[in-house]
Structure 1
Amino acid sequence: MSTTVSAYAAPTPKAPLEPTTITRRTVGEHDVLIEIKYAGICHSDIHQAREEWGDGIFPMVPGHEIAGVVTETGPGVTRHAVGDRVGVGCFVDSCRSCAHCKGGREQYCTQGVGTYNAVGRDGEPTYGGYSTHVVVDENYVLRIPDALPLDVAAPLLCAGITLYSPLRRWNAGPGTQVAIVGMGGLGHMGVKIAHAMGAEVTVLSHSLRKRDDGLRFGADHFRATGDPATFTELAGSFDLIVNTVSANLELNAYLGLLTAEGTLVNVGAPENPVPVAMFSLIQGGKSLAGSMIGGIAETQEMLDFCAAHGIGAEIETIPVDRINEAYKRVVDSDVRYRFVIDTSTFAR
């Protein structure tokens, strides 16, 4: 039978989030019921709750960085068992038959179902991790290794894979020069992961304010983009630059930092189009690319990699009644480096 659970939702676009209850579907043949322990706050939660990326489905329960424990399984479940430590990321279903799904790249499926602000196969809206429980098909649930505490693991389900995927795809590793642009919720994960992969890592941040943190996370160098000398002195230096910033940057200047045949990958999503001069790409045979999250297999690979290297997100844990305060602080860049909701603070 379906279950009513506590949640926090935006009742209308741009409205403060407020406590509510939602209905989770009956556990089906291949479903698992997860008691959510922690839910990360991603900036994309704010964008969607405020309809900054287009129309949303309201009331909206955000949250796609979910870590918890399995409390019930359907009769056909083979991947997970009661008591397992698990996670759920940015999507909870896909068509399973297209080339992307068959190739383990479910994140590109045109019929994919988001963890929230989407419509499931049953025609009902999906609700995210700002709640006490969630029901998810076993094929879209990740195993969280025992070496990873659940609270620092939660942001890996979005921030972690968002950085792991391009670093792996473009072969960050020993002998490569990698730059991470911005050191916020995404960027700090990029520094940790690129360092663990063996790359020489440079942080490119507007100022040197976070320099000590960057070096502690594994950066070899930390340079301020607010200093024009940075772009002169580092010209032609990097094999790979991963841009995590969602503001409009002068991409031509960053392309100038690439070595010949280097790649600038964007994982941030600016609100407005960004102009690029074609000669910034043509001269040197450089590439401008985009990347998002990863598929289920790659996300599991990322979690195992992070466990093996002792990598978790830097977090500030909050009770649920501070979600709106946290939203304001995220917008103001006043968090180091990811807020995580402790769901034990929900009223039961």
Structure 2
Amino acid sequence: MSHIEKFHGIGIVDPTDWKHPKRVTFDPKPYGDYDIDVEIEACGVCGSDIHCASGDWGKVPKNLVVGHEIIGRVVSLGPKCHTGLKIGDRVGVGAQVYSCLECDRCESGNEPYCPKFVTTYSQAYEDGYISQGGYSDHIRVHEHFVIPIPKEIPSHLAAPLLCGGITVFSPLLRNGCGPGKKVGIVGIGGIGHMGLIFANAMGADVYAISRSYAKKEDATKMGAHHFIATKEEPDWGTKYFDTFDLIVVCSSSLTEVDFDIMPKVMKVGGHIVSIAAPSLSEKLTLKPLGLMGVSISNSALGSPAELKILLDMVANENLKIWVETLKIGESGVHEAFERMEKGDVKYRFTFIDYDKEF
């Protein structure tokens, strides 16, 4: 089967002027027996894109193309592909494109924690090729990380589920979110708003936790049954003592999260799980004696198996996340970067109109 020799995207040509990306042409990774080429039709914008493009997470690779919430159509299949995908199938690719698939972690459904994990953009494969993401016309990826998209979910709503959605869904699923559980979502932004929608759909008693009351009305529409404004309720640690089974921290930064107060609101055996991936300069400070009976951890992406569970739930429950669409291209990516940096989005962006740009 023939495959595409050159890909085209919107990349970071000058890291000192990262908010003005340019159109670039680049070589795809070498074609492997289990690889699939996907022609992209939509891609969500994740906070990770901003962190990486701006250099928050280190040196920006040359002509880097970000984006890891990808929806598209299969246009090429490697000779040993065996997952049942066919040419023309609508599929998704999230924030992981490779793992060894042989270690205990991979075989137990923990591929995101594999030592050979390769993220969708900015990371080197074992052969040295630097992965390139979804602000481009195509992506080439191992079939294990190519996920069928249910027909009930429109592409612009499916895209943000591939990273942001699964990143908050995984700790909800793994920590027993459901009927009879009191679950808090901290940070009502691009990922946190999905956490409210999912936790409500899973049957939990859902608390939105934010600094102010500014997003209370939105949070209620998303499925929150209660709202806590931590800056306006200074006694919230006392008021909600021994309340929560699970809190998922979805803030983009952890510096304003008070991890000395938060353990007080947890039940014994409760879990505080952060999905934040802030700047490398941030450090977490807390008093260890306050952790008695409470666990604090950090969660990575969800696995392909968990992503399929999420997509089925969204399709079956007709869940609608809050998305604004932008046209892919130099000006569209610039607008997304500018507005994301300012927090001017309710609550997620998805790039569309790929056929008109590439």
State the TM-score, normalized to the length of structure 2.
Answer: 0.92
| Equivalent in 128, 145, 148 of residue 143 of structure 1 | 148
1:263 and 2:271 are equivalent in the alignment: yes
Q: The residue matched to 2:209 in structure 1 has which SS?
A: strand
Equivalent position of 1:222 in the other structure: 227
Whether the aligned pair in 2 keeps the contact of 1:132 and 1:346 (CA below 8 Å) is: no
C-alpha distance after superposition, 1:128-171 (max 9, x if no partner): 00011111121110111111111101010111111111001110
Which residue identity is paired with 1:233? Answer: K
Offset of 1:22 from its aligned partner?
2.0
| Equivalent in 245, 248, 271 of residue 242 of structure 1 | 248
1:317 and 2:319 are equivalent in the alignment: no
Percent identity of the aligned residues?
Answer: 38
Offset of 1:202 from its aligned partner?
0.5
Q: The residue matched to 2:206 in structure 1 has which SS?
A: strand
- In 2, Cα distance between equivalents of 1:326 and 1:208: 26
Equivalent position of 1:31 in the other structure: 35
- In 2, Cα distance between equivalents of 1:116 and 1:86: 18
- In 2, Cα distance between equivalents of 1:160 and 1:17: 26
- In 2, Cα distance between equivalents of 1:292 and 1:235: 28
Q: The residue matched to 1:308 in structure 2 has which SS?
A: helix
Which residue identity is paired with 2:240? Answer: L
Deviates more, 1:315-324 or 1:1-10: 1-10
Classify 1:265/1:26 alpha carbon distance in 2 versus 1 (closer, same or farther; 3 Å): closer
Equivalent position of 1:46 in the other structure: 50
Deviates more, 1:5-14 or 1:219-228: 5-14
Deviates more, 1:124-133 or 1:295-304: 295-304
Equivalent position of 2:215 in the other structure: 210
C-alpha distance after superposition, 1:41-92 (max 9, x if no partner): 1111111112211233222100111011112222332321012110001111
| Equivalent in 9, 12, 19 of residue 10 of structure 1 | 12
- In 1, Cα distance between equivalents of 2:216 and 2:5: 47
Equivalent position of 2:239 in the other structure: 233
Which residue identity is paired with 1:22? Answer: F
CA RMSD of aligned residues (A): 1.6
Whether the aligned pair in 2 keeps the contact of 1:153 and 1:312 (CA below 8 Å) is: no
Whether the aligned pair in 1 keeps the contact of 2:49 and 2:67 (CA below 8 Å) is: yes
1:62 and 2:66 are equivalent in the alignment: yes
Which residue identity is paired with 2:138? Answer: H
- In 2, Cα distance between equivalents of 1:84 and 1:293: 24
- Runs of 4 or more above 6 Å deviation: none
- In 1, Cα distance between equivalents of 2:90 and 2:203: 29
- In 2, Cα distance between equivalents of 1:288 and 1:29: 41
- In 2, Cα distance between equivalents of 1:44 and 1:95: 23
Within-5 A mapping of 1:70-219: 70-79=74-83, 80-219=85-224
C-alpha distance after superposition, 1:74-112 (max 9, x if no partner): 233232101211000111111122111121211011111
Whether the aligned pair in 2 keeps the contact of 1:6 and 1:346 (CA below 8 Å) is: no
Equivalent position of 2:260 in the other structure: 252
Whether the aligned pair in 1 keeps the contact of 2:29 and 2:131 (CA below 8 Å) is: no
Whether the aligned pair in 2 keeps the contact of 1:172 and 1:194 (CA below 8 Å) is: yes
Which residue identity is paired with 1:278? Answer: P
Task: Give the gaps of 5 or more residues in structure 1.
Answer: none
Offset of 1:26 from its aligned partner?
6.2
Whether the aligned pair in 1 keeps the contact of 2:41 and 2:355 (CA below 8 Å) is: no
